Structure 1
Amino acid sequence: MPENNDNFDKYTPFFSASSSQLFLQKCYTQEKIAEAEIKSYDNCYPFIYHLEHAKTYYNQAAIAPLSIQPILTFYGFAQLLKACLLTIDPNYPESTSMLAHGVTTRKKKKQQYEFLKDEVKTQKNGLFTCIAEKLFHIKHLEGEKFSMGTLMKEIPDMQNFTWSISKKNFVALLPCSNGFQLPSTILDSYQMSSSRLEEFLKAKTNQIYSISEAPGTLHLKTEGVPIHNATSPIRYNLAEGQFMLSLNKDSSAFSLPELLIHYLISYNLSIIARYETEWWAELMKTMPNDDYPCIVQFLKISQAKVPFLIFEWIKSERFHN
């Protein structure tokens, strides 16, 4: 996995007012926004400042004590998301409601509290809602609840780490001619025939797939290639450099874009680190269960992966929506 301090090397071309202005003009023109050139000049410095702030937060998180890493990581994440929104909406934020986080956490219980069983709830307004609607065209997420364990199971990089939820959650998509290979055991995992799986994947990914069977193997043929920020159960494992298919077909987060998954977990961790000082300190000192290693692993993964995913979206995927 890339070292944390290297995550922003790809962003270097944006640290130029002229380059960022031309990039924003291209974005606004694609969005058919009036006066695209003028607005791109107005926003080139705010765009750079969001990226600069994000870089500072992430670099500090990489060297900070664990106790404050969640706070720095979440603030860096929020700055990157605001830069993304500025490429779509030159007037962002248009109202103070957009500045809210868009998520609530439930009151922590002092006894028998377990992070993996904790839940967050999405709200009508705020940054989470803006990202869901403007980046991923997802609406009607208000009031949805997600547990931390459910969300973590949808991050393929977490599969490299053994923890209490020991069930295998992903299967690798191995590149081959015109598509990918999958083990035929996927049909047992999904409890589907190959034709039913084909229809299921079409519905969940908005891509055309055809599946052919060979002994022990499925050939998944597709005209396009998976993208890193899709509303899809096909996710990218940065540690292994390959796409993987989630096996959790009944999960509430099965098709949730991975950036939204990281946001929900990161927000909850930042709240815990800020306001649940006693529980947070005791967790780091006593390490009583799987919460501690899961949180440590998640922070390591997220600090590398979020800047990667957002760069992929900014660089190319935003133009293919």
Structure 2
Amino acid sequence: MWLGYRDWESFSFFYSVEYAQSYLQKRYEKIGCPEPGQKSFENCYPFLYYLEHGSIYYAQAAQAPIILQPILLFYGLVHLIKACILTMDPFYPETTAVLAHGVSARKRKKQQYQFFHDEVKFQKNGLFPHLSEKLFHMKQDEGDKITMEALLRMVPELDSLFWQLEGRANFIPLLEKGGHWFVSEKALDCYHMTETRFREYFFTQSGIELEKMENGLAKLSGLPVHFPHNRPTFLKADFSQKRYAMPFKKSHRSQFPELMAHYLLLYNLSMIARYETEWWGEAVKLMPNRDYPFIQSFLKITQVKSPFLVYCHLTSGLKGLGSL
């Protein structure tokens, strides 16, 4: 997946109206859109501008102080997500209801506030539920909440920080040998399952079959890069280590897409940066607790990782992209 990825340079082939229209038309034909040629013609410029404006926000965030980064990165990701949605929803935005953020945060922070314990609440309408449904075919329950800690634990690149500060990991790395990926038998102990049960569970969670254990390793029947990026999976790409990983234990949110986790984290951080000036200033300058190292590390990671996740969705199923 990452072998052919070259940061923002990898998006360059989209910056052609002729190609963008052809690309969108093929996407629309695949989903059975009426008049795909007409809709692709109408949407090719919005698609290009979403990508271009998103890249500008990220470029500015890379040069900005950390105080401003959450705001720039959030709106950069919003533009990239809108480009993704436009490939799956030719009529976006069909109503004003989908233009809201689709999630809400606590308006006033309590005393002794800690970012780890903060929550965001899912709303019925807006970009977040639209993203979940159109890109991942998942419905989110209105009023459901999720903590910042749970979201941070979904980012595999933060695993070393969790290990250093808390002494426990969130992911089991997959092993790569000779171009094949393997799961260690240690996963059976983590999940408290027999081999047969674990192989069934692995398939339901990833769409990839596991072969029988040999010498303590079970080989994946296919490469992780071949599973569709628009279906839920519990396998995560660790961009920094260039490997794949699976959650350390079962969870009802194990298939929660990482792109959605980045959106929610950046949403809340951008709200804090805008409206909780005192707390945000103290967190950045005084670094009183574990919040700051995780926030700082996440902001560095998401500058690289979230465009990569968007690129994976945009190029999923495309031919002629070699190892992608």
Question: TM-score scaled by structure 2?
Answer: 0.90
Give the structure 2 partner of residue 89 of structure 1: 89
Q: Is this contact kept in 1: 2:185–2:218, CA < 8 A?
A: no
Which SS does the other structure have where 2:111 is aligned? coil
Q: Percent identity?
A: 43
Aligned amino acid, residue 167 of structure 1: R
Rounded Cα–Cα distance in structure 2 between residues aligned with 1:74 and 1:100: 14
Which SS does the other structure have where 1:240 is aligned? coil
Change (3 A) 1:88 1:103: same
Q: Is this contact kept in 1: 2:11–2:311, CA < 8 A?
A: yes
Give the structure 2 partner of residue 222 of structure 1: 221
Aligned amino acid, residue 234 of structure 2: P
Rounded Cα–Cα distance in structure 2 between residues aligned with 1:195 and 1:144: 34
Give the structure 2 partner of residue 29 of structure 1: 29
Q: Is this contact kept in 1: 2:54–2:76, CA < 8 A?
A: yes
- How many Å apart are 1:208 and its aligned residue? 4.3
- RMSD in angstroms over aligned alpha carbons? 2.0
Give the structure 2 partner of residue 166 of structure 1: 167
Which SS does the other structure have where 1:112 is aligned? coil
Q: Is this contact kept in 1: 2:234–2:256, CA < 8 A?
A: yes
How do 1:209-288 and structure 2 match up within 5 A? 209-215=209-215, 217-223=216-222, 225-226=224-225, 227=227, 230-250=231-251, 252-288=252-288
Q: Is this contact kept in 2: 1:178–1:221, CA < 8 A?
A: no
How do 1:22-61 and structure 2 match up within 5 A? 22-61=22-61
- How many Å apart are 1:258 and its aligned residue? 0.8
- How many Å apart are 1:151 and its aligned residue? 1.2
Rounded Cα–Cα distance in structure 1 between residues aligned with 2:244 and 2:100: 33
Which SS does the other structure have where 1:182 is aligned? strand
Question: TM-score scaled by structure 1?
Answer: 0.91
Aligned amino acid, residue 286 of structure 2: T
How do 1:1-321 and structure 2 match up within 5 A? 7-162=7-162, 164-176=165-177, 179-205=180-206, 207-215=207-215, 217-223=216-222, 225-226=224-225, 227=227, 230-250=231-251, 252-317=252-317
Change (3 A) 1:75 1:249: same
Which SS does the other structure have where 1:243 is aligned? strand
Q: Is this contact kept in 1: 2:106–2:120, CA < 8 A?
A: yes
**Deviation digits for residues 187-212 of structure 1 (CA, Å, limit 9, x no counterpart):** 1111111111112122222x142342
- How many Å apart are 1:239 and its aligned residue? 0.5
Rounded Cα–Cα distance in structure 2 between residues aligned with 1:32 and 1:159: 41
- How many Å apart are 1:69 and its aligned residue? 0.2
**Deviation digits for residues 100-149 of structure 1 (CA, Å, limit 9, x no counterpart):** 11111123434210001111111111101011001000014322211111
Q: Is this contact kept in 2: 1:178–1:223, CA < 8 A?
A: no
Aligned amino acid, residue 225 of structure 1: P
Aligned amino acid, residue 222 of structure 1: S
Rounded Cα–Cα distance in structure 2 between residues aligned with 1:8 and 1:61: 14
Which SS does the other structure have where 1:210 is aligned? coil
Q: Could you tell which deviates more after superposition, 285-294 or 184-193?
A: 184-193
**Deviation digits for residues 62-96 of structure 1 (CA, Å, limit 9, x no counterpart):** 11010010000000000001111111222210111
Rounded Cα–Cα distance in structure 1 between residues aligned with 2:232 and 2:277: 35
Change (3 A) 1:318 1:16: closer
